[in-house]
Amino acid sequence: MSLLDSIFAFFARLFGLNLPSGDEPLQVVSPRVLVINYDPVVDAQGTRLTEKMGWNRIDDLIPRFIADMEEVSYGLVKYQYNGANRIDVDEFPRKKDGFQYTAASYLAMMQDPRTHHEPDGVDYWKIVDDHHLIDRVIGHQIDEVWLFGAPYFGFWESHMVGKGAIWCNSSPLANSDRCTRRFVMMGFNYERGVPEMVHDMGHRMESIMAYVYHSFNTLQNAYNSVNPNVRPPVGPEKFTNPKNDFEHFLLFEKIAPGRAEMGLLHTPPNAGKDYDWQNPNLASSSCDDWLNFPDLRGTRRMINANEWGWGADGYAFNKWWFGHAPHAKGSKNGILNNWWDYTIRVDRPFRGRR
Q: How many CB atoms lie within 10 A of CB 44?
A: 7
Asked if residue 207 belongs to a domain, the reply is no
Whether residue 175 is found in the same domain as residue 225: no
**In this prediction, what percent of the chain has a pLDDT beyond 70?**
94
> Three-class SS of residue 304?
coil
Whether residue 122 is found in the same domain as residue 187: yes
pLDDT in tens, 247-263: 999 999 999 999 999 99
Asked if residue 4 belongs to a domain, the reply is no
Whether residue 117 is found in the same domain as residue 264: no
Q: Which of 274, 258, 275, 268 is nearest to 306 (CA)?
A: 268
Domain, as residue range, for 247: 212-344
Asked if residue 81 belongs to a domain, the reply is yes
> Average pLDDT for residues 141-148, to the nearest whole number?
98
pLDDT in tens, 310-319: 999 999 999 9
Whether residue 67 is found in the same domain as residue 188: yes
pLDDT in tens, 14-71: 445 566 768 899 999 999 999 999 999 999 999 999 999 999 999 999 999 999 999 9
d(CA 341, CA 350): 10
Overall number of domains in the chain: 2
Whether residue 120 is found in the same domain as residue 222: no
Whether residue 186 is found in the same domain as residue 218: no
Whether residue 117 is found in the same domain as residue 154: yes
> Of 147, 163, 192, at which residue does a domain stop?
192
**Residues 20, 335 contacting (CB under 8 angstroms):** yes
**Residues 258, 303 contacting (CB under 8 angstroms):** no
**Residues 185, 234 contacting (CB under 8 angstroms):** no
Asked if residue 17 belongs to a domain, the reply is no
Asked if residue 203 belongs to a domain, the reply is no
In this prediction the pTM is: 0.94
> Which residues make beta-bridge pairs with 146?
35, 186
DSSP string, 250-300: T--TTTSTT-B-S--SS--TT-SSTT-TT----EEE-GGGGGGTT------
**Residues 35, 58 contacting (CB under 8 angstroms):** yes
Asked if residue 6 belongs to a domain, the reply is no
